[in-house]
Structure 1
Amino acid sequence: MRSILRIFRQAAVSSALLLSLAACASTDQLHFSGKEYALYKTLNPAALLIATPDGEPLFADHADQPLIPASTTKLITALLALRHWGEDYRFYTDFSVRLSPGDAAPVLQISAYGDPFLVSEEMALLAGNLATRLRAQGIKRLSQIQLVNQWFETDIRLPGTGESLNPYDAVNGAFAVNFNSIKLRKDAGGWSSAEEQTPMTATSKRIAEQSGLTLKVGQSERINIGKDDMLNRQYAAEILIAFLQREGVEVEHAELQSTPLSGHDGAPEILRYRHYNSRTLAEVIRPMMKYSTNFIANQIALNLSADLYGAPASAAKLQKLYAEQLPSIFGWKRNDVHFLDGAGLSRDNSISALQLMAVLQAFEPWRHLLPEVEEGVYAKSGSLIGVSTLAGYLHHHQQWLPFVFLSNQRVPYHFRNRLAKSLKAQLPREFILSQQ
């Protein structure tokens, strides 16, 4: 109950912040100097905003100008998820084992719900739990694996995904392993997995051979596994099969059958298992913030859209999520902000520093999920060509001051971090203490 009340208080503070900033946008209670601030003043378009923990504006420059937020979009995606599910929520995948006609081995059916963190270690844990239940039923062999639900639309394409080998450009899917990426090592005789915990499968080899990746013998590199949704699901199925085999369970036919539940829904069910990810939502969001994993952010956003608007998730429902939920939470007009993805890859995303500050006010209960990018600076950064952003909290004399920096102009490497560090160093102790 306390956490719920705190969320409502944060929403109220956010509304007060908007009114306060609108009333005194040209009045700064802080004054800055130094080479980083001098460079900031040359940027156009750019915005800078700092407030007290209670939302009192301390410094506002172009705070109401809509700008491209890049990966600070992940703050918004995380906020929507944490409000909807809570930080202890766990993503899950359902498994059902059904009898086959005649003497054929049973069929394993999967209902996948877009778990964003099905990494190899999680798949090994999942397979172990499933194998234990199968052995208890005397089952050591399965005839095939079927994907029987459609939580995501097939071949979803979000901005910035699927157009390169970069793992940060991986496409999304309801049944995806290792963030739809694979780390490959070039050997004298071909390709192998560069991760001890990840098996090399037939589809892994096919992906490697078709990738066009050129490495010297002994070198390794992580790539995304491409934009073929069927191939991606097959890769996930083969990883599961490899771990089941290690547990003593054989699968006769490795090819994944992706069909809506129909052929076996009348067949007797032998067992049912729901695997909850070992990581909570908070434990998924923390590395997403630290490593800026686009796949996780978009996967969370698509899950939210399916949960709120019905499956299958789609790009259109994802856009509806931001267009409807943000005005509902913050009282904004529907067209005040614009988002086409949940990771910040789209250059058509737009939000003002003032609005992003409202997001930070609401995100305050979960600020511990942000990385410390400089001493006393806990924030999410964002980068696109010609875009540099940073938003989070300055920890100053035991107080947490939310701040936003947005620049839609090219800046020097790490400039945003140096700017935040410089601004924090110039905050007057006397002024901050007077706010208590």
Structure 2
Amino acid sequence: MLTTLAVLQALTIVIGVYAMTTDFSLGALTRQSPPTKPTEGPPSAPVVTSGPVLAQLSVKPGDGPLPTKGTLTRQLTDALGDKALGDRVGAVVLDAVTGERIFASNADTPIVPASTTKIVTCAAALASLGPDTRFSTRVVQGASPGTVVLVGGGDPLLAGPSAKPVYPKQASLATLAARTAATLKAQNIRKITLSYDSSLFAGSPIAPGWKPNYVPDGEAAPVYALAMDEGRQNPRNRQPRVSNPPQYTAAAFASLLAKQGITVARSVRPGKAPAGAPELGRVDSAPLYSLVEHTLTHSDNDMAEALARHVAIKEGKEGSVEAGTKAVIAVLQRLGVAQGVSLSDGSGLSTLNRISPSVLATVIAMSGSANQPNLHAIASGMPIAGFSGTLGNGRRFTSRDSRGQVGLVRAKTGTLNNVNTLAGMATTKDGRLVTFAFMADRVPVTAEPVLDRLAAIVARS
């Protein structure tokens, strides 16, 4: 017999699928009437399935009326006066159908976004690469007989030998070893020298504005194109992270080959895959749309950083953090939502990032539009209040003034020291889809309960 939680989780999956294929209305699917009250993580460009999306939002039949502006303004203004937010706060609520501002306060002020940065990084990745793109980890023949090169394809979710199955289904290093061994045996090769090529990504593996404790504390691993289990020594634990993910991954691959009957020379070193070298084996990541959903739901810093670098490569630049942030902004400019955006990384760990509430809310509105099909994974990847991801941790939407909207808000969280942000979407009581962004970067302690209250006000407006 299914538990209540299991039923709700199953309903959440159905909602995500249904909403992306019909008129996007969260309230129509989840709202009860009346409502019951019950830290944040190959050396060629990937194949692109489609180009950037530049369509405008369109009116859909069945949209309810806009919420009463006067009432919403009064309630939000009162909540924004909470001292827990500090003295620099930006807020906006948009009609997702028309883009009209229903409420705005410092809406165009660039503010430290923390992990809501992932919204624009993922939007740029979907628009530039296309939602069906996959990242390949390959093994190719080396320059001389008996040499083999493991080539990183920028997939940090590549599963090592100790990883447990998760969603989305990960490419497996063990599968790659089995396929490679089968090819080598077919060629009557049972002894090799192994090297590894992580040159798809370039530059520093650490972004400007990252604090020294981020890697030791497990917030992220150093960013390389070859890594398994996101650089974790134990895939089930956030920390410790390994200092050299490519070498660590190559050593694990050598052990897996040995189990397949291939003898590997003791010395495993960095190398370069010869251009056009014959492929001995490969594994592909999950499609980009599911990687984006994972990134947003779980606030995955490692995946977000990889996505920014992939955008740079697709846009004709090197796969570095600096090129990645410039490429993300360039794609946002094509989408018409880059005003005031300044980025130093793709994940939001950097304290140097700046994004306005208006940009975040506009990107989210685009993701729910039928005219922006490439961006739908932004909407479906948002955590659901009280149920999933960073909004399902038992700490969010639990107070008296927000718990009544559990399940009715989808939003991305952002948390750094003195920074709290929340950007997402909700359907009003009359069935109008709206998007919002609330941002504060001079928070005395924590403002998460206030942000939940603000989102709840929007949802019940």
Q: TM-score range by the shorter chain?
A: 0.7 to 0.9
* Counterpart code for 2:250: A
Residue 246 of structure 1 corresponds to which residue in structure 2? 259
Residue 191 of structure 2 corresponds to which residue in structure 1? 141
Q: Distance in 2 between matches of 1:381 and 1:141?
A: 50
Q: Distance in 1 between matches of 2:79 and 2:153?
A: 46
Q: Choose from 315, 323, 326 the match for 1:320.
A: 326
Residues 149-188 of structure 1: pairs in structure 2 closer than 5 A? 150-159=199-208, 160=210, 163=213, 164-183=215-234
Residue 344 of structure 2 corresponds to which residue in structure 1? 340
Q: Given the alignment of the two structures, is residue 276 of structure 1 paired with residue 326 of structure 2, yes or no? A: no
Residue 270 of structure 2 corresponds to which residue in structure 1? 258
Residue 431 of structure 1 corresponds to which residue in structure 2? none
Q: Choose from 17, 23, 30 the match for 2:72.
A: 30
1:149 is displaced (CA, Å) by 6.1
CA gap of 1:400–1:119, structure 2 versus 1, over 3 A, is: farther
Residue 385 of structure 1 corresponds to which residue in structure 2? 417
1:146 is displaced (CA, Å) by 1.8
Q: Given the alignment of the two structures, is residue 237 of structure 1 paired with residue 250 of structure 2, yes or no? A: yes
Residues 184-203 of structure 1: pairs in structure 2 closer than 5 A? none
Contact 1:117 1:178 in 2 (8 A): yes
Q: Distance in 2 between matches of 1:378 and 1:40?
A: 25
Contact 2:128 2:314 in 1 (8 A): no
Measured against aligned partners, the alpha-carbon deviations of 1:400-426 in whole angstroms (never above 9, x if no partner) come to 321101011225363255324531454
CA gap of 1:420–1:119, structure 2 versus 1, over 3 A, is: farther
CA gap of 1:100–1:319, structure 2 versus 1, over 3 A, is: closer
* Counterpart code for 1:39: D
Q: Given the alignment of the two structures, is residue 9 of structure 1 paired with residue 55 of structure 2, yes or no? A: yes
Measured against aligned partners, the alpha-carbon deviations of 1:246-300 in whole angstroms (never above 9, x if no partner) come to 33333122x33223346xx79xx675333212x1112222222122121111111
Q: Distance in 2 between matches of 1:5 and 1:399?
A: 30
Q: Choose from 42, 45, 49 the match for 2:92.
A: 49
Contact 2:365 2:434 in 1 (8 A): no
Q: Distance in 2 between matches of 1:146 and 1:130?
A: 14
Contact 2:139 2:280 in 1 (8 A): yes
1:327 is displaced (CA, Å) by 2.2
Contact 1:338 1:350 in 2 (8 A): yes
Q: Identify which range, 401-410 or 242-251, moves more after superposition.
A: 242-251
Q: Distance in 1 between matches of 2:181 and 2:257?
A: 7
Q: Distance in 1 between matches of 2:57 and 2:312?
A: 22
Residue 223 of structure 1 corresponds to which residue in structure 2? 240
Structure having the higher strand fraction is 1
1:99 is displaced (CA, Å) by 7.8
Residue 435 of structure 2 corresponds to which residue in structure 1? 402
Q: Distance in 2 between matches of 1:47 and 1:423?
A: 16
Residue 18 of structure 1 corresponds to which residue in structure 2? none
Q: Identify which range, 342-351 or 123-132, moves more after superposition.
A: 123-132
* Counterpart code for 1:118: L
1:235 is displaced (CA, Å) by 0.3
Q: Identify which range, 130-139 or 166-175, moves more after superposition.
A: 130-139
Contact 1:389 1:416 in 2 (8 A): no
Residue 109 of structure 1 corresponds to which residue in structure 2? 149
Q: Given the alignment of the two structures, is residue 419 of structure 1 paired with residue 436 of structure 2, yes or no? A: no
Q: Secondary structure at the match of 2:353?
A: coil
CA gap of 1:346–1:28, structure 2 versus 1, over 3 A, is: farther
* Counterpart code for 2:439: L
* Counterpart code for 1:129: R
Contact 2:420 2:447 in 1 (8 A): no
Measured against aligned partners, the alpha-carbon deviations of 1:213-268 in whole angstroms (never above 9, x if no partner) come to xxxxxxx7721113xxxx33210101212222333333122x33223346xx79xx
CA gap of 1:28–1:387, structure 2 versus 1, over 3 A, is: farther
Q: Distance in 2 between matches of 1:149 and 1:418?
A: 42
Q: Secondary structure at the match of 2:219?
A: helix
1:65 is displaced (CA, Å) by 1.4
Identity level (%): 24
Measured against aligned partners, the alpha-carbon deviations of 1:163-211 in whole angstroms (never above 9, x if no partner) come to 441221321001111111222xxxxxxxxxx86xxxxxxxxxxxxxxxx
Structure 1 unmatched runs, 5+: 14-26, 184-193, 196-219, 428-436
Residues 41-120 of structure 1: pairs in structure 2 closer than 5 A? 43-54=86-97, 55-98=99-142, 100=144, 106-120=146-160
Structure 2 unmatched runs, 5+: 1-20, 22-48, 60-68, 164-171, 369-375, 387-406
Q: Secondary structure at the match of 1:168?
A: coil
Q: Choose from 408, 429, 446 the match for 1:376.
A: 408
CA gap of 1:136–1:260, structure 2 versus 1, over 3 A, is: closer
Q: Secondary structure at the match of 2:442?
A: coil
- Count the aligned residue pairs: 361
